[in-house]
Amino acid sequence: EPEVTQTPSHQVTQMGQEVILRCVPISNHLYFYWYRQILGQKVEFLVSFYNNEISEKSEIFDDQFSVERPDGSNFTLKIRSTKLEDSAMYFCASSGGDNYEQYFGPGTRLTVT
Amino acid sequence: RKEVEQDPGPFNVPEGATVAFNCTYSNSASQSFFWYRQDCRKEPKLLMSVYSSGNEDGRFTAQLNRASQYISLLIRDSKLSDSATYLCVVARGSTLGRLYFGRGTQLTVWP
């Protein structure tokens, strides 16, 4: 069964550093998303991406965040200058197959020290 | 007011029990509804979409009441493997749009 994959599974970085989180969506999907979940809290939407542009973003997705689809398979989330409060699990999701439901990757745990 | 509200539980039930979870959503423009399950420190996994007519998938039954803005999930004959957090999720537009998640209801099924 096709699935969304994410790398790395865990990233530790120092405050102020840039990080890039990588995702490979399901191959025939056209819609891509990033969500995050701070420990003990609900899953929160960050951004959606379709046809090589952002289709929607939340108030969390400020100028420190950017997304890119650099080639035909990868979808990345960049945080330019990480803060302590960026520590969370970041989930990539994709949609657009037969039923248009969103399927999530296993997540990248980001720890900012 | 929160977009999606759920009773956080925890619900602790014996194997074989029937358990029901409820959820309310605040935005009457919401169009798509789902239940996801999330195991500890793992990704949300789609359990089922929820349709206006109600729908059933094996031991799981979901109901939607648009007038009351209320969604439910019933699990019959609980298994140990059902232990997880159940997330109520809504989308305002199509399923391709932003998803709004509740905080989840924790279920533990004991032998």
Average pLDDT of chain B to the nearest whole number: 93
Q: How far apart are the first and last CA of chain B?
A: 38
**Number of CB atoms found within 10 A of residue A73's CB:** 11
d(CA A110, CA A107): 9
Q: Is A60 on the interface with B (CB under 8 A)?
A: no
Structure tokens that stand for A103 in this block: 């399927």
Query: Per-residue pLDDT averaged across B48-53, rounded?
Result: 88
Q: Which residue has the tokens 């004991």?
A: B110
Mean predicted lDDT score pLDDT of chain A? 94
Q: Tell me which of B34, B37, B96, B100 to substitute to probe the interface with A (most A C-beta atoms closer than 10 Å).
A: B96
- Kindly tell me if the per-residue pLDDT of A99 is higher than 70: no
Q: What is the pLDDT of residues B66-85, one digit of tens each?
A: 999 999 999 999 999 999 99
- Residue A5 C-alpha from the chain's centroid: 11
Considering only CB atoms, which chain A residues are within 8 Å of B98?
A: 33, 45, 48, 56, 58
**Structural contact between residues B73 and B55, judged by C-beta atoms closer than 8 angstroms:** no
B36-to-B42, B86, B99 alpha-carbon distances in Å: 12, 6, 11
A:18-37 residues touching chain B, CB 8 A cutoff: 31, 33, 35
Other CB atoms closer than 10 Å to residue A50's CB: what's the count? Answer: 16
How remote is the C-alpha of B57 from its chain's centroid? 13
Please report the pLDDT score of residue B1 as a whole number.
75
Q: What is the pLDDT of residues A55-72, one digit of tens each?
A: 999 999 999 999 999 887
Q: What is the pLDDT of residue B5?
A: 95
DSSP state for residue B103 in the 8-state scheme: -
- Using CA coordinates, name the residue in chain A closest to B97: A48
Q: What is the pLDDT of residue A98?
A: 59
- Tell me: pLDDT of B43 over 70: yes
DSSP of A38-103: -TTS-EEEEEEEETTEEEEE-TT--TTEEEE--SSS-EEEEESS--GGG-EEEEEEEE-SSS---E
**Whole-number percent of chain B with pLDDT over 70:** 98
Residues of A in contact with B34 (CB under 8 A): 101
The pLDDT of residue B88 is 97
In the numeric block, which tokens belong to residue B32? 């798509």
pLDDT digits (tens, 9 = 90+) for A10-24: 999 999 999 999 999
Residues forming beta bridges with residue B56, ordered by sequence position:
B61
Is A101 within 8 Å of B49 when comparing Cβ atoms? yes
What is the band of A97 on the pLDDT scale with cuts at 50, 70, 90?
Answer: low
**A53 interfacial to chain B (CB closer than 8 Å):** no
DSSP B37-91: EE-TTS-EEEEEEE-TT-EEETTEEEEEETTTTEEEEEE-S--GGG-EEEEEEEE
Tell me the per-residue pLDDT of A81-94, one tens digit each, with 9 for 90 and over: 999 999 999 999 99
Percent of chain A with pLDDT strictly greater than 70: 97
Residue A40 distance to chain B (closest CA, Å): 9
Average pLDDT over residues B47-64: 92
